[in-house]
Chain A
Amino acid sequence: MKRVLDSLRRRPRLAFALLTVLLAALPFIMGFGLGNSWVRVLDFVLLYVLLAIGLNIVVGYAGLLDLGYIAFYALGAYLYAWLASPHFGLHLPFWVVLPIGAAFAGLFGVLLGAPTLRLRGDYLAIVTLGFGEIIRIFMNNLNAPFNLTNGPQGMNLIDPVRIATFSFGKPLHFHGLTLPPTYFYYYLFLAFTLLAIFIALRLQDSRIGRAWAAIREDEVAAAAMGINTRNLKLLAFAMGATFGGLAGGLFAAFQGFISPESFTLWESILVLCMIVLGGMGNIPGVILGAILLTMIPEALRYIGDLQRATLGHVVVDPSDLRMLLFGVALVSMMLFRPAGLLPSRQRKREFAAENGVAEQEQASLYDAKA
């Protein structure tokens, strides 16, 4: 396995071609191998990758702990529903609604960022947590006096994505083969996810990315380097929120139904866990975290069937097991890979350095002559 990976690393073109074929064929492999419900899981994997990449900009790059990130997902989703559903009788096409939703969420990112500029760490986390809850509670209650969100019932019959005359909402029959909408959404989500990965990677090595790293390390020193810390922090909030809003719009179109229940604090924490588990600040790590934490709970469903087949009835509810394993996974990560599964170069160095630092300081106390 290792030899295969090494030889692929030496042939980047071949690796790229293989990856392209794999990504293109993946829904068919999953769909025919494991059943069409797994294509739906794949769609959600991509949505969570998109969310995790967005949150990683705020938390991983700029070091601003945001516990209310799902609010931007909610804002993107509700904006899509307002502009493309029978609720207001508007049916704008998705390529108009999605950018508006992303920008709308980005604007809220700045609105959240501006008053919290001077907060750091735990204090920032609490305020963002509150913000996430406020948005959800608003969505839950804004059905009176004017029905904006339809309250806890949520908004229904949201338009599916439509490109020219082709609607993503209906299955496609082709030579006796039936492809459900989940296949089309897979390719749409994949396109957006790849775009997000590209942007995030480019940002990391840019002047902006380096300034974020400096702010994360030491904000006063960053300002003393001539970095406009205020604008760059707002930019991090806005960019993260924009990705969240985009994912929200895609989610609304895909599901056709949204309600405040989809945007709880748990979702914010889940996305944060994906980043932490995978390796904060490192895009491959973040992607891996999102894939694992979306796929594993789905795979656990089979444990219910397994119990029924072997024991005759379900002893342990798979959804209870999910939380248990989730906790076990995070605790083992803390013990064995504290920097995450695929840590960024910087974090890996940091965690590896701990022991070296003390020795170094001892040794160099007396070597000033050198």
Chain B
Amino acid sequence: MTSPLLSVHGLKVAYGGIHAVRGIDFEVTKGELVCLIGANGAGKSSTLKGLMGLVPHSGSIHFDGERVQHAATHAIVARGLALVPEGRGIFGRLTVAENLDMGAYIRNDKPGIKADLARAYELFPRLAERRAQLAGTLSGGEQQMLAIARAMMGRPRLLLLDEPSMGLAPLMVRKIYETIATIAGEGVTILLVEQNANLALKVSHRAYVMESGAITLSGPSAQLANDPQVRAAYLGE
């Protein structure tokens, strides 16, 4: 087996006395779409924030063989990790085009950025139509598309998606997931955090189940989707 792109050992995240993540281990191999599912408050988002250096954390995180913990967020982004934050985090008072422009902040290759921008508009025609519009005036689903497109503008080697289905209409959720599958199909490695276990298990290769700050189950997604324990706890059966 090739060495994993991301390998995490004993990751802990605590806010004051509250231990959100209690020492978890997981890996993501290049080209994989891995999901991290679990209920509200299981520590999924904290895990992603820990990976990005947005919250204080301990444990070891290796990205492409290099230790990245205790690095500043901007340095981690420069290594090739990109986060689509929970609640999308778009720049509401900037236009769609300006938002996408910010996504390429760490890059200098103008022709490459231009090509990727064209690609983003191709993938999300809705954003092309609204490129001059203020991002804050987009609908929730369009904002989610923008957040994903913006993260892709940095040409990440690992894309972290935090609850892309949150607060969206079912049809829009389906559309977002089609897009995630398209991006993954192009060979982008993705770590997806999701409450909607059904959807996440359908689209991903492997999955980890998280419960009160610890990983309780892991395995190929197809297998977990049939696991009676998972079905009972997350799929409402």
The distance from the CB of B140 to the nearest CB of chain A, in whole angstroms, is 7
Please provide the chain B residues from 50 to 66 with a CB less than 8 Å away from any CB of chain A in the complex: 52, 54
The distance from the CB of B144 to the nearest CB of chain A, in whole angstroms, is 11
Question: Which chain A residue shows the least CB distance to B92?
Answer: A217
Tell me which residues across on chain A come within 8 A of B94, comparing CB atoms. 213-214, 217, 346
Q: Which of A226, A365, A366 has the most CB of B within 10 A?
A: A226
B171/A357 in contact, CB under 8 A: no
Tell me which residues across on chain B come within 8 A of A368, comparing CB atoms. 141, 169, 171-172, 174-175
A214/B102 in contact, CB under 8 A: yes
Contact residues on A (Cβ < 8 Å of other chain), bracket: 35 or more
The distance from the CB of A231 to the nearest CB of chain B, in whole angstroms, is 9
Tell me which residues across on chain B come within 8 A of A222, comparing CB atoms. 91, 102
Main secondary structure of the interface of A (DSSP, over half): helix
Docked Cα-Cα span, A369 to B103, in Å, equals: 26
Out of A210, A347, A367, name the residue touching B93 (CB < 8 Å).
Answer: A347
Question: Which chain B residue shows the least CB distance to A359?
Answer: B137
B8-16, B22-30, B76-84, B112-120 - interface stretch:
B76-84
B89/A221 in contact, CB under 8 A: yes
Q: Which of A224, A356, A361, A368 has the most CB of B within 10 A?
A: A224
Tell me which residues across on chain A come within 8 A of B142, comparing CB atoms. 364
Question: Which chain A residue shows the least CB distance to B138?
Answer: A360
Tell me which residues across on chain B come within 8 A of A229, comparing CB atoms. 73-74
A365/B139 in contact, CB under 8 A: yes
B136/A353 in contact, CB under 8 A: yes
Tell me which residues across on chain B come within 8 A of A142, comparing CB atoms. none
Question: Which chain A residue shows the least CB distance to B169?
Answer: A365
Tell me which residues across on chain B come within 8 A of A177, comparing CB atoms. none
A220/B89 in contact, CB under 8 A: yes
B105/A226 in contact, CB under 8 A: yes
User: Which residues of B pack against A, CB within 8 Å?
Assistant: 52, 54, 72-74, 77-78, 82-83, 85, 89-94, 98, 101-103, 105-106, 126, 134, 136-142, 150-151, 154, 169, 171-172, 174-175
Q: Give me 25 A-to-B residue pairs in the complex whose CB atoms sit less than 8 angstroms apart, sorted by A's number.
A: A210-B98, A210-B101, A213-B93, A213-B98, A217-B92, A217-B93, A218-B90, A220-B85, A224-B82, A224-B83, A224-B85, A226-B77, A226-B78, A227-B74, A229-B74, A347-B93, A350-B92, A350-B93, A350-B134, A360-B137, A360-B138, A364-B138, A364-B139, A364-B142, A368-B141
